[in-house]
Structure 1
Amino acid sequence: MLKLAVNHSVISSDALVPVIHDLYDIGDIAEVRFLNNGLNDTYLVAASEIKYILRIYKVNWRSQSDIEWELELLHHLYVHGLPVSHAVMKKAGGNLVEIAAPEGQRFAALFTYAEGGHSDTKESSSLYGEEVAKLHAAMNGYQCRHDRFVIDLDHLLKEPLQSIKPLLAHRPEDFEYLEALSKLLRSRIETVSEELERGMCHGDLHGWNVHFHNDSLTHFDFDCGGFGWRAYDLAVFLWARVRGRGKDAFHNEMWDAFLASYQQHKALSKHDLEAIPAFIAIREIWLMGLHTGNAQVWGAWQNDHYFDTNLKFLREWCAEHAIA
């Protein structure tokens, strides 16, 4: 019988029930349900009186230091009154759980549950903008004790291109376009970098990492967060609303509500505002690198249609905003 290497295993929900019961003081567990094989594996944990979310981090995605940075940041935000899903303490203390999976050591953490769901209205966008401004302000006071990757141009452009290149080997002209565009985008941001606000960022503020409930919200999933440009952090919200909606979609009413509310609580410089179109193109390249870089786990579904769609958006966006 062959014994082969494993890229990714899905931990049994049934096997997790007694483990979570022993590790955490959350009462009887009615159910553990596997929800999502995303950047990490997500499970719903239904205890007797309250729900939680269990995240099991993938091997070779985040280091232990990266994860501890995230959990400590969430604790900082929670104790300062920010509405965030944060890690639950184990009975024995600490937040991290180590799992000996077939593919190697994995880490897990249990998080408080974010009530509510997604909303994409002007009202919810306005509330989100206000709360993101408060989030950025609160993160300014976070003193990091752990190493964490930085959201810089190597992270956003260089590393993604390395992942994209093998899957575009049969389309050399398209890869040459991405290389040339990345150089142009790097130059544009480097030219004004000293004028742009930098600080701790969520990294993934597309609007689906927040749940709205009644007149409040809860932030979650800081897995892509790190130290970077705040204009990039904000640009992700607009990027999620203009992809596939036409090259002239910059004036999006949800974005207008979000940005106006953000600036009522935290002003942006003209340099930050002017950098947002470039950061949207950068985000698209980062996403392509994310998808191709995880093909060994998610599958190599990044086919010609995928690249046609993404490159079309990039070309139209950059032409509309005089980037290329």
Structure 2
Amino acid sequence: MLPTLRSLPDPAALAPYLRDRYGIDFTGCTLLRSLVNDVYEVTTADARYILKLYRYGGRHLDGIRWETGLSAHLIANGLSAPAIRPLPDGDPVGLLDAPEGPRPFVLQEFVDGTKPPYAEELYRDFGVLVAQFHEMADSYVSEFPRRTADLSHSLDELRPQLAPAEENLLQDLADAVRNNLAQYSAERGICHGDVTLDNLLVAGNCLTLYDFDLAGADYRAADFHRRRVHAVLARPQGRLQHPPPDHGGGRGRHPLPRRRRADLQPPVPPGRQTADPRHRVPHRRLGGPRTDCPSAGGRRASLTRQ
């Protein structure tokens, strides 16, 4: 038999496997997405769940436990986030024996919701939601370790893949970034790490934030700036089809000086232009994110992008 780099479990076989592991009478299983992780919808006669199957060798078990604990902490403090269904022994993370090696998995409750329309009002509400996330995450303490999301860690991951000349250039850029950050009293804390409307669901007036794969300690402004820069550089003609949250929405909770707010504006490459606000889709004002969303035991939205 040839070595396997990555397997894709048969949904028909997963339902009985999970039935035995969780003691839940699962009757169906459907593959939703296979990208960084494999995501399945698992159903019973009256409930729906999301199974997130991590690739082999991609994540440490304790890092995933840190992530599931963050989700539980946010829910306990009133933020709508995915609720985790633990195994009978209480562990939120299981292991599936795959041809390439053991693969971690997590079972989450399904959330009823829809992808939001892209409109100016929503971006501001999303900014408020991210600020609430930052505030609630301040009090999160876990017994499990989590890798930091800061610049030094990112550089350490990149160095082995670079030629010496590229490594020197990267180090010069990193030193310039550090010198720039040293000019400000930049606030650090737990960041989401992948702030985008793709990780947001709307149900009535309730906004649900999910996908904490990249969450970790970093400069909080990075949650607003990183996605903004990536969006400008990645879109055709630099058009912001999926703009990041408006950092002004969180200004009341984490106020930013005018100079720092200006630094968060994206660099627009020559010859590119940003989206014309007149072309944005009208959106009903949500009145700010609600924290009185369904409880952790309620039905939650499909996490199909993970």
After superposition, where does 1:243-322 map in structure 2 within 5 Å?
243-244=234-235, 246=237, 258-269=246-257, 272-273=260-261, 275-276=263-264, 316=270
Partner of 1:47: 44
Structure 2 segments unaligned to the other structure (5+ residues): 275-306
CA drift at 1:162? 4.2
Residue 93 of structure 1: how far off its partner (Å) = 2.1
Larger RCO: 1 or 2 (CA < 8 Å, sep 6+): 2
Q: What corresponds to 2:290 in structure 1?
A: none
Q: What is the Cα deviation at residue 89 of structure 1?
A: 2.1
Alignment correspondent of 1:124: 122
> Does residue 1:80 correspond to 2:77, yes or no?
yes
Rounded Cα–Cα distance in structure 2 between residues aligned with 1:18 and 1:185: 50
SS of equivalent to 2:20:
helix
Which residue of structure 2 aligns with residue 192 of structure 1?
181
Instruction: After TM superposition, give the deviation of residue 229 of structure 1 in Å.
Output: 1.1
The amino acid of 1:244's aligned partner reads R
Cα distance change of structure 1 residues 108 and 216 upon mapping to structure 2, 3 Å threshold: same
SS in 1 for 2:40: strand
From 87, 107, 111, the equivalent of 1:110 is: 107
Any stretches of 5+ residues in structure 1 without a counterpart? Answer: 167-171, 282-312
Q: What is the aligned residue count?
A: 270
Partner of 1:33: 30
Q: Deviations over 1:144-165 (max 9, x none)?
A: 32111111213334524644x4
Q: Does 1:100 align with 2:97?
A: yes
**SS state at 1:148 partner:** coil
The 3 A distance-change label for structure 1 pair 186 and 4 is farther
Secondary structure of the residue that 2:68 maps to in structure 1? helix
Q: Secondary structure at the match of 2:84?
A: coil
SS in 2 for 1:35: strand
1:222 Cα shift? 0.3
The 1:189–1:270 alpha-carbon spacing in structure 2 relative to 1, beyond 3 Å, is farther
Counterpart of 1:187 in 2: which secondary structure? helix
8 Å Cα contact 1:124-1:212 kept in structure 2? no
Q: C-alpha offsets along residues 102-126 of structure 1, whole Å, 9 cap, x if unaligned? A: 1112111101223223222223222
**How far apart are residue 84 of structure 1 and its match?**
0.4
- CA deviations 1:277-306 (Å, max 9, x no partner) are 5xx68xxxxxxxxxxxxxxxxxxxxxxxxx
- C-alpha separation between the residues in 2 aligned to 1:184 and 1:240? 17
Measure, in 1, the Cα distance between the counterparts of 2:148 and 2:207.
Answer: 27
| Counterpart mapping for 1:161-200 below 5 A | 162-163=160-161, 165=162, 176=166, 180=169, 183-193=172-182, 195-200=185-190
Aligned to 2:136: 138
SS at match of 1:53: strand
What amino acid is the match of 2:256? L
Residue 259 of structure 1 and its aligned partner are, at CA, apart by: 2.0
Mark the CA change 1:139 to 1:51 in structure 2 (over 3 Å): closer, same or farther.
Answer: same
Percent identical:
26
CA contact under 8 A between 1:140 and 1:199: conserved in structure 2? yes
Other-structure match for 1:61:
58
Alpha-carbon distance, 1:234 to partner: 1.4
Partner of 1:209: 199
The alpha carbon displacement at 1:13 in A equals 0.9
Question: If the length of structure 2 is used for normalisation, what is the TM-score?
Answer: 0.76
Contact 2:231/2:242 (CA < 8 Å) preserved in 1? Answer: no
**Residue of structure 2 equivalent to 1:19:** 17
Change (3 A) 1:118 1:236: farther
Q: Please say if residues 114 and 201 of structure 2, whose CA atoms lie closer than 8 Å, have aligned partners that are also in contact.
A: yes
Matches within 5 A, 1:207-246: 207-239=197-229, 241-242=231-232, 243-244=234-235, 246=237
Instruction: Give the conservation status (yes or no) of the 8 Å contact 2:113–2:201.
Output: yes
Report the RMSD for the aligned CA atoms in angstroms. 3.2
Change (3 A) 1:115 1:179: farther
